[in-house]
Amino acid sequence: MSLQQFLGIELPIIQAPMAGSQGSALAIAVASAGGLGSLPCALLSPQAMREELTALKAQARRPFNVNFFCHAPPAVSEEREALWRAALSPYYKEYGIDASAISTGPGRAPFSIANTDLLSEFKPAVVSFHFGLPAPELLARVRALGAKILASATTVAEALWLEAQGVDAIIAQGAEAGGHRGIFLTEDPTTQVGTFALLPQIAKRVRVPVIAAGGIADARGVAAAMALGAAGVQIGTAYLLCPEATTSAVHRAALKSEAASHTAITNVFTGRLARGIVNRIMRELGPISNIAPAFPLAAAAVLPLRAKAESAGSGDFSSLWSGQNASGCREIPAAQLTRELAGQ
Ligand SMILES: Cc1cc2nc3c(=O)[nH]c(=O)nc-3n(C[C@H](O)[C@H](O)[C@H](O)COP(=O)(O)O)c2cc1C
C-alpha cells in the first residue's frame, strides 16, 4: 500500500509542522492540493489549539496531521538560569530591559492527557511527535482514536526504537532540516547525519514506511528521496514564504537574503538543538552554549530581547529556523507549491 493510500491523501507530500510559523491556514491550503497539512501544537494554548482544530476540521475536509513535542519537562536549575541571564545581561542593558521582570517558565508544554481529550473531539487522521514519543498510556489513547502515528528519527537507533513502540511511519530527519532536531536517544551531535546518509540506512532496517525530511526543496529532491527508499517526504523550509504561513517579517527577510545560506545547529533559543539562520545571538553566545538551560527553559530569558529587537526591525535575537536548502522558498500559494513539489 502506498503512503498516500495509507494516510488517505493524494500526493506523497507532508507539509512539516512548524511551530511559530504557521497555523491551520497553511495546513488547509496543503490539504486542498492533496498533500498532508500539519498543525503544530507546541506553542499553542489549549484555547488556540481548539480554535485551530475547529478551523482545520471545518475547512480541510480531508485528512490532516496534528503535531506535538513530547519532551520530559526538565528540573529548573537556579544556577544554570542565573548563568544564562548573566550571559544575556549586556543585551538587556543595550535594549533597556529590566531583567528582574522576566519570568522563568517552560513556554512549550509536552503532549498531555488534556491533549488526548481534545484530539478525541477532532479525531485527526494523523498525529505526529517530535523528540520521541509520549508515555505508552498516552500513546495508546491516541491510537484508540484511530489516528496513524508518525514520529521523527535522526539516527538508525531512534528509528528502530520508534518501530518497536509501534509507530505507523518514521520521519527520517536529516541534519539539513530546519527547526528543532527530533533527536531523543542521545545528546551526541556527531550522530546527526544528512538526509541521504540517514534515509537509506533507516529504510533498510525498518518495515514501516519511511518519510524523508531535511533539505528537500523541489520535485527533483522529492524524486531523489523516493529513489533512496522514502515512501513520502516532509518539507518545512520551502513553505515558509507562502502567504498562508505566519512567518514573521524579520524571518521572511532573512530567508530572502544572502543570510539564508548560513545556517547552523544551535541551542541558544530553547536549550535544544535546532537549525536556523546564523544571527547575532548565535554568533556571540553559540551556536552551541553549554550554559543554556535545558529545553525549553532557555527560551524565557531570550524572548524579551527578541520582542525588542523585532520591534526595531532586527532579527538579532529571533529563532530564524531554516534548513540548509532555502532555495525552494517562494512567495506562492501553498497549494501551488505542494503540486509543484509533487511534480505536477
Ligand atoms: C520553522 C520551522 C519550525 C519547525 N517546527 C517543528 C515543529 O513544531 N514540530 C516538528 O515536528 N518539526 C518541526 N520542524 C522540523 C520539520 O518537521 C522538518 O523536520 C524540517 O522542516 C524538514 O527540513 P526542511 O526544513 O529542510 O524541509 C520545524 C522546521 C522549521 C523550518
> Which atom of ligand 1 lies closest to the CA of 235?
27
Q: Whose CA is nearest to atom 9 of ligand 1?
A: 17
Q: What is the pLDDT of residue 308?
A: 96
Q: Report the chain's mean pLDDT, rounded to a whole number.
A: 96
From the CB of 237, is ligand 1 less than 6 Å away?
yes
* pLDDT higher than threshold 80 for residue 56: yes
Confidence of residue 107 (pLDDT cuts 50, 70, 90): confident
Nearest atom in ligand 1 to 42's CA: 8
- Residue 300: pLDDT band (50, 70, 90) is very high
pLDDT band at 61 (very low <50, low <70, confident <90, very high): confident
pTM of the model: 0.97
pLDDT tens figures, 21-34 = 999 999 999 999 99
What's the CA-to-centroid distance between 214 and ligand 1, angstroms? 8
Task: Assess contact for 195 and 338: CB atoms under 8 A.
Answer: no
* Digit-coded pLDDT (tens) for 284-293: 999 999 999 9
Residue 104 has pLDDT above 80, yes or no: no
Per-residue pLDDT of 117-162, as tens digits, reads: 999 999 999 999 999 999 999 999 999 999 999 999 999 999 999 9
**Ligand 1 center to residue 114 CA distance, Å?**
24
pLDDT above 90: residue 281: yes
Of 41, 126, 261, 321, the residue with max ligand 1 atoms within 8 A of its CB, to mutate for a pocket test, comes to 321
| Backbone phi, psi, residue 40, to 5° | -80, 130
Asked if the model's pLDDT at residue 103 lies above 90, the reply is no
Does residue 244 surpass a pLDDT of 80?
Answer: yes
CB distance 176 to ligand 1 below 6 Å: yes
pLDDT at res. 35? 98
pLDDT for 109: 85
pLDDT at residue 50 is higher than 80: yes
The percent of residues above 90 in pLDDT, for the chain, comes to 94
Give residue 99's pLDDT.
Answer: 86
Residue 143, pLDDT score: 97
Q: Hey, whose CA ends up nearest to atom 5 of ligand 1?
A: 18
Q: Is the CB of 116 under 6 A from ligand 1?
A: no
Ligand 1 site, residue 271, Cβ cutoff 6 A: no
Average pLDDT for 172-176: 98
Binning pLDDT at 50, 70 and 90, where does residue 49 land? very high
* HEC-encoded secondary structure of the chain: CCHHHHHCCCCCEEECCCCCCCCHHHHHHHHHCCCEEEEECCCCCHHHHHHHHHHHHHHHCCCEEEEEECCCCCCCCHHHHHHHHHHHHHHHHHHCCCHHHCCCCCCCCCCCHHHHHHHHHHCCCEEEEECCCCCHHHHHHHHHCCCEEEEEECCHHHHHHHHHCCCCEEEEECCCCCEECCCCCCCCHHHCCCHHHHHHHHHHHCCCCEEEECCCCCHHHHHHHHHCCCCEEEECHHHCCCCCCCCCHHHHHHHHCHHHHCEEEECCCCCCCEEEECCHHHHHHCCCCCCCCCCCCHHHHHHHHHHHHHHCCCCCCCCCECCCCHHHCCCCCHHHHHHHHCCC
C-alpha cell at 317: 535575537
Q: Which tens digit of pLDDT belongs to each residue from 187-212?
A: 999 999 999 999 999 999 999 999 99
Cα(176) to ligand 1 centroid in Å equals 11
Mean pLDDT, residues 65-91 taken together: 95
Instruction: Give residue 135's pLDDT.
Output: 96
> Confidence class of residue 42 from pLDDT cuts 50, 70 and 90?
very high
The C-alpha angle 207, 210, 213, rounded to 5 degrees, equals: 160
Whole-number pLDDT of residue 105? 66
pLDDT confidence band for 106 (50 / 70 / 90): low
